[in-house]
Amino acid sequence: MRIVKIFDTTLRDGEQSPGASMNVAEKLRLAEQLARLGVDIIEAGFAIASPGDFEAIKTIGNEVEGPVICSLARAKEEDIKRAWESLKDAPRRRIHTFHSTSDIHLKYQFRISREEALKRSVDMVRFAKSFVDDVEFSPMDATRTDIGYLCEVIEAVIEAGAVTVNIPDTVGYSIPGEFGAMIKTLRDRVKNIDKAVISVHCHNDLGLSTSNSLSAVLNGAGQVECTVNGIGERAGNCSMEEVVMALRTRRDLFNADTNINTEEIMRSSRLVTKITGMSVQPNKAIVGANAFAHESGIHQDGLLKEKSTYEIIRPETIGLHKTKFVLGKHSGRHAFRTRLDELGYTLSDEEVNSAFYRFKKLADQKKEIYDEDIEALVSEEFTTAPEIYSLTGLSVSSGTDQKPAATLKLKVNGELIEKTGHGDGPVDAVFRAITLITGAKSRLLRYEVKAITGGTDALGEVVCSLEEGDRSVSGHGADTDIIIASAKAYINALNKLAARKK
């Protein structure tokens, strides 16, 4: 059985989704989970794009074991040098360089000829090769590139040393039959194609990114670039869980599989949602809340008799286990730590102490603590930013015959400030009080609240995305009181914005 490599670009293309930007600690946490998931390559960022990206690639390269760590670079010397600097301590490293090849891009964006684009691509592959053996090249907008010219570019970059040639459907324009045929043409016409792995990178503008990637695999692609939950630029990228589970479920047809440990899919999906603040639609394939919910009586009847009647994937295969009651008020630190280990969290003593303190507070409010509650508590450890603002007190009044008001106490750089805000509802009043204290000028992009488990005593989890200038961030807060959770989420987002401004 052929193994198709999974090249995960959640940290790079995924991060290009509006509001999905992540800080270094969050990227590291996610990269560790991607390693547990078993991806072959992690594209950790675009080194020249920002100091934060650079630092994230460096940290991930130093700390995450297993996958090859990849840094993206335009076909420019300064980009490639920066990519190399971000990778030089990583034991397994790859430089991914790219240049547009379609006439539309060359004429209107770069204003250069095909010959010049070819020369830059070849020169920069050679330049990248002077730093690392593992060089990947992407002809951007490949699917709108003249096929004869594309073959010429691919042949030349392989000759220059590229060991992976990635074919991006940058604007999500292609359709499966056509894209598969394109891969076949490259295999038939490019003389040295057997010296490189053919990769594909499909965007989802027409909702076809997974189908296009699978069609490419059927035609010989050996690497698929994808993101967890399909996040990414515009309508997103090919979704990792869809392509992996299609290959696994239909091995009979593809005669191909991946190295992915599918039981880690659900946890990876939840982590991406938590960190980026981008929820998954309920009917999303594989990881949506309804993906395994059978509503029709006829289906339920069949399932009770024999699961395979209506279930093509066992939920356990993707790590979806029935929520079980795990811990309670009397559970000790040891039991808590053991459960964290079982859930795959490796925390320092300090982090365990802080999560345990919050666990005890929660256990006072909530009788039964589920895995999802623990994950929410722990995720606070990873989504925090240096605290300029910290919540020290909140009281809210609202009702049918009074204007909602919130009196909030915030420590700002150590100084305690108290203000009262009024609003259309209690959350609005809280946000206004926070704005009065902080003077925040950010725009609220998204506010979402959901119950983590069932029951009226469930932890409420709030995600709040803010935008200021060209920066956007998502903050999180979890509490049994959704108003407090909202305040925490807003403050967390403001702390992240402040950290990014620095």
Q: How far is the CB of 152 from ligand KIV (least distance, A)?
A: 19
Binding partner of residue 92 among Zn ion, ligand KIV, none, CB under 5 to 8 Å per kind? none
Instruction: Please tell me the count of residues contacting ligand KIV according to CB under 6 A.
Output: 9
Nearer to ligand KIV, 162 or 466 (CB): 162
CA 134 – CA 73 distance, rounded (Å): 14
Tell me whether residue 100 or residue 273 sits nearer to ligand KIV (CB atom). 100
Q: With beta carbons less than 8 A apart as the criterion, state whether 226 and 7 touch.
A: yes
Closest contact distance (angstroms) between CB of 34 and Zn ion is 17
**Near ligand KIV by CB under 6 A, which window of 122-130, 165-173, 343-351, 433-441?**
165-173
Footprint on residues 6-65 left by Zn ion (CB under 5 A): 13
Report CA-CA distances (Å) from 71 to 94, 95, 279, 373, 453. Answer: 7, 5, 27, 35, 38
CB of 181 to Zn ion, least distance (A): 21
Q: To the nearest whole angstrom, how small is the minimum distance from the Cβ of residue 449 to Zn ion?
A: 31
Instruction: Single out the segment in contact with ligand KIV by CB under 6 A; choices: 166-174, 298-306, 330-338, 404-412.
Output: 166-174
Q: Which stretch binds ligand KIV (CB under 6 A): 114-122, 162-170, 289-297, 366-374?
A: 162-170
| Residue 98 contact, options ligand KIV, Zn ion, none, Cβ 5-8 Å cut-off depending on partner type | ligand KIV
Q: How far apart are CA 414 and CA 438, in angstroms?
A: 13
- Interactions with ligand KIV, residue window 295-324 (CB under 6 A): none
Question: Which of 14, 161, 168, 404 forms a contact with ligand KIV (CB under 6 A)?
Answer: 168
Q: How many CA atoms lie within 13 A of 384 on its CB side?
A: 15
Contact yes or no for 204/168 (Cβ under 8 A): no
Taking the complex as a whole, the smallest distance from the CB of residue 199 to ligand KIV amounts, in Å, to 9
Taking the C-alpha atoms of residue 244 and residue 281, their distance in angstroms, rounded to an integer, is 19
In the complex, the smallest distance separating the C-beta of residue 171 from ligand KIV, rounded to whole angstroms, is 8
**In Å, how far are 328, 358, 379 from 333, measured between CA atoms?**
11, 12, 18
Q: Which long-range contacts (CB under 8 A, 24 or more apart) does 414-421 make?
A: 416/392, 418/393
Fill in the per-residue mask, 38 to 77: x = in contact with ligand KIV (CB under 6 A), - = not in contact. ----------------------------------------
CB closer to ligand KIV, 140 vs 266: 140
Instruction: Tell me how crowded residue 289 is: count the other CB atoms within 10 A of its CB.
Output: 13
- Residue 140, contacted partner among ligand KIV, Zn ion, none, CB below 5-8 A by kind: ligand KIV
In the bound complex, what is the minimum distance in angstroms from residue 98's beta carbon to ligand KIV?
5
**Quick one: what does residue 209 bind among Zn ion, ligand KIV, none, with the CB cut-off 5 to 8 Å set by partner type?**
none
Instruction: State how far the Cα of 132 lies from the Cα of 128, in Å rounded to an integer.
Output: 6
Beta strand pairing call for 41-46 and 5-8: parallel
Closest contact distance (angstroms) between CB of 52 and Zn ion is 19
Q: Which of 98, 179, 359, 382 binds ligand KIV (CB under 6 A)?
A: 98
Q: For residue 140, state whether it binds ligand KIV (rule: CB under 6 A).
A: yes
What angle (nearest 5°) sits at the alpha carbon of residue 344, between those of residues 343 and 346? 120
- Give the nearest distance from C-beta 226 to ligand KIV in angstroms: 12
The values of phi and psi at residue 321, to 5°, are -105, 155
Nearer to ligand KIV, 141 or 373 (CB): 141
From 275, 200, 272, 218, select the one nearest 241 (Cα to Cα): 272
| Crossing angle of helices 349-365 and 333-342, rounded to 10° | 110
- Return d(Cα 153, Cα 148) in angstroms, integer: 9
Q: In this structure, are residues 199 and 166 in contact, taking their beta carbons and an 8 Å threshold?
A: yes
One residue of 10, 21, 170, 486 binding ligand KIV per CB under 6 A? 170
Cβ 135 vs Cβ 162: under 8 Å: yes
Residues in contact with Zn ion, counted by CB under 5 A, come to a total of 1
Which residue, 99 or 432, has its beta carbon nearer to ligand KIV?
Answer: 99
* Binding flag, residue 13, ligand KIV (CB under 6 A): yes
Kindly state the smallest distance separating residue 270's Cβ from ligand KIV, in Å: 25
How far is it, in rounded angstroms, from Cα 68 to Cα 241? 20
Phi (first) and psi of residue 398, to 5 degrees:
-160, 165
If 0-12 CB within 10 Å is exposed, 13-18 middle and 19+ buried, where does residue 293 land? Answer: exposed
Indicate the residue among 32 and 233 with the shorter CB distance to ligand KIV: 233
- Answer for which of 82, 105, 129, 201 binds ligand KIV (CB under 6 A) is 201
CA distances from 207 to 233, 235, 298 (A): 13, 8, 30
Q: How far is the CB of 354 from Zn ion (least distance, A)?
A: 37
Of the two residues 12 and 27, which places its CB atom closer to ligand KIV in the complex? Answer: 12
- In three-state secondary structure terms, 137 is strand
Interacting residues with ligand KIV (CB under 6 A): 13, 98, 138, 140, 166, 168, 170, 201, 203
Binding site for Zn ion (CB under 5 A): 13
